[in-house]
């Protein structure tokens, strides 16, 4: 008998740019599952805290309970943090509004 594969969602992408935009990956935060009902809001190697402030995520062996308490959330909270932070992203000095304007200009 062949076992039935388990399918689970382990990551959500949160961005203000359209999914077909060339720059969408740079302006995307991810909400990533960390086991159980624990999620992290990530911008590349940086984890966001409840205020949306980025902090480099240390190696697992270097994360203490205090760090984890400020950078891990239930799913609803993590998605709220990501949705609040996404419009405020800046990449190479260009804020989301500027990236959106460039997208509109390209599409004419």
43-68: per-residue pLDDT in tens? 999 999 999 999 999 898 899 999 99
pLDDT of the residue at 103: 85
| Residue 25 falls inside a structural domain | yes
pLDDT of the residue at 88: 97
| Residue 48 falls inside a structural domain | yes
| Residue 3 falls inside a structural domain | no
| Residue 98 falls inside a structural domain | yes
How many structural domains comprise the chain? Answer: 1
Query: How is the chain split among helix, strand and coil, in percent rounded to 5?
Result: 35, 25, 40
Cα distance between residue 99 and residue 91, in whole Å: 9
Q: Domain residues for 25?
A: 11-107
Answering whether pTM is above 0.75, one says yes
């Amino acid at each position: 008998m062949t076992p039935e594969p388990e399918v689970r969602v382990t990551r959500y992408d949160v961005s203000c740019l359209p999914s077909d935009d060339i720059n969408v990956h740079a302006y995307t935060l991810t909400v990533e599952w960390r086991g159980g009902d624990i999620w992290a809001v990530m911008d590349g190697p940086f984890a966001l805290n409840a205020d949306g402030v980025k902090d480099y995520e240390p190696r697992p062996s270097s994360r203490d309970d205090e760090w984890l308490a400020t950078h891990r959330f239930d799913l609803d909270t993590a998605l709220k943090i990501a949705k609040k932070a996404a419009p405020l992203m800046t990449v190479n000095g260009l804020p989301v509004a500027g990236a959106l304007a460039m997208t509109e200009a390209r599409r004419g």
